Structure 1
């Protein structure tokens, strides 16, 4: 410094330096950032996007982490070289035990962002490592409660949702200031050493499912038919029951009517029942009718079967006089009457 500078010049220089030092307190926060102000290394407050001011360095400093940028980690493999297809499997991360005690090979990724910059900066020493370890722990717990068949087929989306929720809960307990956007399963396969045996099991399960479906189809075809036949038998039995009941009720009503008639006129009813019974019993029997009227030693006799026989023979032989020569049946001789007696 020149020796000829006076006190006024020195004061001016000091003011300029002080102003320049004061200008170091201005800072700008971008739209994808959050400003975190530290006073002698201790967190004081945070600011949003825009132009702000803090006490000049080294009294206060500002850290501006990217709070809207999505960060992604993968577990189960690592990229090798510059191509995305070159991968190195990390068995310590990817091999997991399922709920039914099978081993499954899983690769997955986690996408996360910062939702609380102070917690993210000061509560975790290595946020990337913390997310990785918490994600692996959450995935192992979810897989340990899931059967392998579900994990390989329809349960992938549920596994992703449950792992995301469990991972977020762990990070919230750590006060990590991290929000998990999504968990994505990249691969869920049986281990390469047993993939052939596993495929055989899968084919056997597919055959079992096919046979089960065929049995279900057969059952669906047989059961309605059997139910229809059963319903038909029930209806026929119901009709038969109605018929028998109605017939029995009719017989009972008829018997009751006969009994009422018998009670009113016992002799007439008895005679009528006797005649009806004889008519029913002797309807198809060859009969000889004996009259009740006649003189001494004479029995009125009407040989109806003989008359019918002769009429039949006369019509068959064509003899016109056969019926004329045959005496008209009427009253027999005394000898015949005695023989009949």
Structure 2
């Protein structure tokens, strides 16, 4: 037969009413020096009748005292928040193991089948303060999760941006190197041509340079050697003037463009001899 014992609270006689707390049994100190109201039930049965009858004077009182001692020792090693949240299964198991060892040391002949936590709460006098602390801890955890999510979002994007900049810089580097190599190859080819025909190359480079400089200007090339031989070059000035574009804006005529009207000569005086 399995027996049960409530510690820290007492159930209503008919099993339907509200249970009442027993502070002298329920209030316990945690490892971080907080007080908790612990209510639990111990289930036990006889495993050795001889030890049960002759080694202990009052089995129920022995189980109750050993259970309170075991629970207080376990609660004294944990944090209050742990006991209020995820620590209940571990507290139940540790208390059951410790309680069984105590009874075995007594030779009580009792087997603890289960320790079941019925309630783990702050004392009624400070429950509002505990709830404020829990809300603050929840807010802190939420802020931490949001910061972690932001970090997980921004860090990969920053790394991608950095990688893009590196790739663009590498592409620019390759472009500059290729352009420099092309310019060097062109210079070498020009130099090779220059070595083979220096005068011709000089003349060609000069003409190409002047063509680039005077691309949009009217150009006249005169062969000086022909002039030295007595040949007079023909310069079609009238044709060249027609090719010069005229300005589109109207301005006052300059001095060179003004029409000069000759002044009439004075009339001869009469009566002279």
Q: Give the TM-score band, short-chain normalised.
A: 0.7 to 0.9
For residues 166 and 309 of structure 1, do their structure 2 counterparts lie closer, same or farther at Cα, with a shift above 3 Å needed?
farther
Task: Report which stretch shifted further, 258-267 or 203-212.
Answer: 258-267
Equivalent of 1:114 in 46, 50, 58: 46
Give the alignment partner of residue 162 of structure 2, picking from 230, 234, 237.
230
> Are residues 298 and 250 of structure 1, via their aligned partners in 2, closer, same or farther at CA, if it must alter by over 3 Å?
closer
Which SS does the other structure have where 1:289 is aligned? coil
Residue 1 (structure 2) pairs with residue 72 (structure 1): no
Give the alignment partner of residue 28 of structure 2, picking from 85, 93, 96.
Answer: 96
Match of 1:21?
Answer: none
Note the C-alpha offset of 1:192.
0.3
Alignment of 1:161-200 (within 5 A): 161-200=93-132
1-structure distance, mates of 2:62, 2:165: 74
Gaps of 5+ in 1: 1-68, 317-341
Q: Is the 8 A contact 1:115 1:178 kept in 2?
A: yes
TM-score by length of 2: 0.74
Instruction: Give secondary structure in 2 for the equivalent of 1:109.
Output: strand
Rate the CA distance shift 1:172–1:240 in 2: closer, same or farther, 3 A: farther
Structure 2 CA distance, aligned partners of 1:311 and 1:260? 40
Query: What's 1:300 paired with?
Result: 233
Aligned-pair CA distance for 1:135: 1.8
Q: CA RMSD in A?
A: 3.2
2:67 pairs with 1:135: yes
Q: Distance in 1 between matches of 2:209 and 2:25?
A: 105
Q: Normalized per residue, which structure has more strand? A: 1
Instruction: Kindly provide the CA deviation profile for residues 47-75 of structure 1, in whole angstroms up to 9, marking residues without a partner as x.
Output: xxxxxxxxxxxxxxxxxxxxxx1121121
Q: CA deviation at 1:154?
A: 1.8
Give the TM-score of the pair, scaled to structure 1.
0.61
In 2, Cα distance between equivalents of 1:271 and 1:71: 120
Contact 1:96–1:140 (Cα < 8 Å) also in 2: yes
Do the aligned residues in 2 keep the contact of 1:290 with 1:301 (CA within 8 Å)? no
Secondary structure of the residue aligned to 1:107 is strand
- CA change 1:122–1:273 in 2 (3 A) is farther
Q: Deviations over 1:31-89 (max 9, x none)?
A: xxxxxxxxxxxxxxxxxxxxxxxxxxxxxxxxxxxxxx112112112346554535442
SS in 2 for 1:251: helix
For these two proteins, the number of residue pairs brought into alignment is 246
> 1:144: which partner in 2?
76
User: Partners in 1 of 2:212 and 2:243 — Cα distance?
Assistant: 26
- Which position in structure 1 is the counterpart of 2:175? 243
Q: Provide the C-alpha distance between the structure 2 equivalents of 1:295 and 1:266, rounded to a whole number of angstroms.
A: 24
Is 1:126 the counterpart of 2:58? The answer is yes
Q: Does 1:283 align with 2:219?
A: no
Q: 1:186 to 1:295 in 2, by over 3 A?
A: closer
